[in-house]
């Protein structure tokens, strides 16, 4: 186990246990370890920029419905991995439990066509996972169909690349490495345009076929950082190029690579999105790629959530390989648009429920069937997981009805799927991944400050247990990260 972490975490952090036990009482989580900081968390914001608080236990007698947009982002977990790996805890306001859970493979059954297969399972809540009066966990899982790379549609990609002064050094190199990885996986019939921005925006390459990729690799190698950060100009030029080259039957996507430090022109996500609204409505999707040890997660996440896309974070070429290499088809394609989930709990069987995470994806219950209200976009082979902590009444019968609603990207038609869960079904058909999900969610709750009465030391035995039972290196690394976070005081 320690050997695995030593292969993935910088050598400097391996000295942390010695620092934690030193005579001067310091933990080793110094400012020198990274520019992550432990300042008071910024106000939490939803996808419209409104402040929100952590979800609280809710009685179905008062509000039986829990409604939210799906989210396949993983940026929060990748950022936490980097922070802990460099000897600091991530800022609490940048931790999203749903994004921690999203990072891991779930093993859900797949549907035959576009859209989702719905899985619902559950188990007793472990004693170490103190969640007030809750005694059980219920998991709602959605899965889209995996599409082989040979079957994916051709793509029109517009790279919008931040080359401002804040992107110098490691950050611009991560961008270069990431784009080289992506270009190497594209087909000759795919097309790419390149826009860079600093004080002003510049179109380096109009939409052209990839061919053998040599011209693209050369343009990527020439990227250098300088100037201020006019993200607005870069996005406007990028979307204009993408709109001019838009082709029905292709996946048309803008890929923004940045640390999110906009400081020239419009700097707020809602103002930028207002200028891009027409292009987004026309079917151009967005992927935001965050880089750097102090990147603006809130801005990039809100752009992705409201720009019909999702957000990832790259600390090293390893994450780029995962997203642009191993999971390229999932990254570039779309199999469901504006997807929403509504879970309806029975007051007869459920005393209280609490959704763990998804606070900034909440939707008014009455807007579940309002197709003008934005949901989430999901690509092929993606899973979405929502965990609920439940306290039960002890009565038999149905606990919850799960409804999912989305737009088919090929036909434009609205489609639905559903599932249900009975009070007596806990543990009967729960997949092994549920144990991993509980560890990941609990880890996030500790890091963001929503854990009721436990810390990483309490989670660690369960984390080590699931790691020992798994041959997945991501699960093994999770246990290592919990251990290091405990060393850092979480």
* pLDDT, position 279: 63
Instruction: Please tell me the number of Cα atoms within 13 Å of 477 on its side-chain side.
Output: 18
Pairing of strands 285-290, 376-378: unpaired
> pLDDT tens across 324-370, in order?
988 888 888 899 999 999 999 999 999 999 999 999 999 999 999 99
> Which whole-number Å values give the CA distances from 291 to 178, 227, 357, 484, in the listed order?
10, 18, 23, 22
Taking the C-alpha atoms of residue 420 and residue 412, their distance in angstroms, rounded to an integer, is 27
266 contacts: CB under 8 Å, gap ≥ 6: 231, 232, 272, 275
Judge contact between 350 and 65, C-beta under 8 A.
no
Pairing of strands 398-407, 336-345: antiparallel
How many C-beta atoms surround the C-beta of residue 161 within 10 A? 26
Place 265 in a pLDDT band, splitting at 50, 70 and 90.
low
pLDDT > 70? residue 5: no
* pLDDT, position 298: 83
pLDDT > 70? residue 455: yes
Judge contact between 143 and 111, C-beta under 8 A.
yes
> pLDDT tens across 131-177, in order?
999 999 999 999 999 998 888 899 999 999 999 999 999 999 999 99
Rg from Cα positions in the chain: 22
Place 229 in a pLDDT band, splitting at 50, 70 and 90.
confident
> pTM score, two decimals?
0.86
* pLDDT, position 270: 64
User: What is the domain partition of the chain in residue ranges?
Assistant: 2-147+335-487, 149-332
Taking the C-alpha atoms of residue 260 and residue 162, their distance in angstroms, rounded to an integer, is 8
* pLDDT, position 404: 98
* pLDDT, position 274: 72
170 contacts: CB under 8 Å, gap ≥ 6: 292
How many Å from the N-terminal Cα to the C-terminal Cα in the chain? 20
DSSP of 416-458? EEEEEEEGGGTTTS--THHHHHHHHHHHHHHHHT--SS--HHH
How many C-beta atoms surround the C-beta of residue 69 within 10 A? 22
Strand ranges inside 129-229, DSSP E: 136-143, 155-162, 191-197, 201-209
* pLDDT, position 1: 34
Taking the C-alpha atoms of residue 448 and residue 162, their distance in angstroms, rounded to an integer, is 29
Taking the C-alpha atoms of residue 166 and residue 363, their distance in angstroms, rounded to an integer, is 35
Is 3.40.50.410 the CATH classification of the domain at 149-332?
Answer: yes
* pLDDT, position 38: 40
- Which residue, among 355, 438, 348, 356, has the nearest Cα to 399 in the 3D structure? 348
Place 281 in a pLDDT band, splitting at 50, 70 and 90.
low
pLDDT > 50? residue 24: no
* pLDDT, position 277: 67
Taking the C-alpha atoms of residue 258 and residue 269, their distance in angstroms, rounded to an integer, is 14
Judge contact between 225 and 163, C-beta under 8 A.
yes
> pLDDT tens across 28-70, in order?
333 334 554 443 444 565 444 556 689 999 999 999 999 999 9
* Average pLDDT over all residues of the chain: 86
Taking the C-alpha atoms of residue 144 and residue 209, their distance in angstroms, rounded to an integer, is 29
* pLDDT, position 480: 98
Exposure of 411 by Cβ count < 10 A (0-12 exposed, 13-18 middle, 19+ buried)? exposed
- Which residue, among 181, 180, 208, 177, has the nearest Cα to 194 in the 3D structure? 208
pLDDT > 80? residue 23: no
Taking the C-alpha atoms of residue 476 and residue 242, their distance in angstroms, rounded to an integer, is 41
* pLDDT, position 55: 96
SS3 66: strand
* pLDDT, position 21: 36
- Which residue, among 431, 474, 480, has the nearest Cα to 459 in the 3D structure? 480
Is the pLDDT higher at 39 or at 102?
A: 102
> pLDDT tens across 191-209, in order?
999 999 998 999 999 999 9
- Which residue, among 135, 204, 122, has the nearest Cα to 163 in the 3D structure? 204
């Amino acid at each position: 186990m320690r050997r695995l972490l030593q292969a993935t975490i910088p050598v400097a952090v391996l000295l942390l246990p010695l620092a934690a036990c030193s005579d001067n009482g310091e933990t080793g989580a110094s400012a020198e370890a990274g520019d992550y900081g432990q300042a008071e968390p910024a106000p939490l914001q939803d996808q419209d920029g409104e402040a929100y608080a952590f979800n609280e236990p809710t009685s179905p007698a008062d509000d039986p419905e829990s409604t939210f947009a799906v989210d396949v982002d993983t940026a929060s977990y990748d950022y936490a991995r980097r922070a802990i790996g460099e000897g600091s805890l991530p800022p609490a306001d940048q931790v999203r439990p749903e994004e921690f859970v999203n990072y891991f493979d779930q093993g859900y059954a797949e549907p035959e066509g576009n859209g989702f297969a719905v899985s619902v399972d559950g188990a007793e809540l472990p004693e170490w996972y103190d969640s007030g009066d809750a005694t059980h966990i219920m998991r709602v899982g959605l899965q889209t169909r995996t599409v082989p790379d040979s079957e994916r549609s051709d793509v029109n990609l517009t790279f919008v690349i931040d080359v401002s002064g804040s992107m110098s050094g490691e950050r611009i190199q991560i961008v270069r490495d990431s784009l080289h990885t992506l270009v190497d996986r594209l087909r000759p019939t795919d097309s790419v345009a390149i826009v860079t921005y600093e004080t002003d925006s510049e179109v380096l390459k109009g939409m052209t076929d990839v061919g053998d990729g040599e011209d693209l690799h050369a343009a990527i190698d020439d990227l250098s950082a300088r100037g201020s950060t006019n993200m607005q100009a870069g996005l406007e030029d990028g979307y204009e190029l993408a709109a001019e080259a838009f082709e029905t039957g292709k996946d048309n996507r803008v890929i923004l690579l940045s640390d999110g430090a906009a400081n020239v022109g419009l700097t707020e996500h809602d103002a930028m999105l207002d200028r891009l609204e027409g292009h987004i409505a026309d079917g151009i999707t967005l992927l935001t790629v965050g880089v750097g040890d102090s990147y603006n997660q809130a801005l990039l996440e809100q752009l992705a959530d409201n720009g019909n896309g999702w957000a990832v974070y790259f600390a090293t070429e390893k994450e780029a390989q995962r997203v642009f290499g191993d999971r390229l088809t999932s990254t570039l394609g779309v199999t469901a648009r504006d997807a929403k989930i509504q879970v309806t709990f029975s007051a007869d069987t459920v005393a209280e429920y609490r959704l763990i995470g998804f606070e900034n994806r909440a939707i008014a219950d009455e807007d579940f069937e309002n197709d003008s209200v934005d949901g989430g976009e999901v690509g092929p082979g993606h899973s979405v997981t929502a965990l609920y902590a439940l306290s039960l009444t002890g009565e038999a019968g149905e606990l919850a009805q799960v409804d999912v609603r989305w737009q088919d990207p090929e036909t434009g038609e609205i489609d639905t799927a559903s599932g249900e869960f009975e009070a007596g079904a806990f543990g009967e058909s729960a997949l092994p991944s549920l144990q991993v999900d509980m560890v990941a969610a609990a880890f996030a709750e500790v890091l963001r400050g929503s854990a009721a009465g436990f810390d990483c030391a309490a989670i660690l035995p369960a984390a080590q247990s699931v790691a020992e039972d798994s041959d997945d290196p991501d699960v093994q690394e999770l246990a290592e990260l919990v251990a290091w976070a405990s060393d850092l005081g979480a």
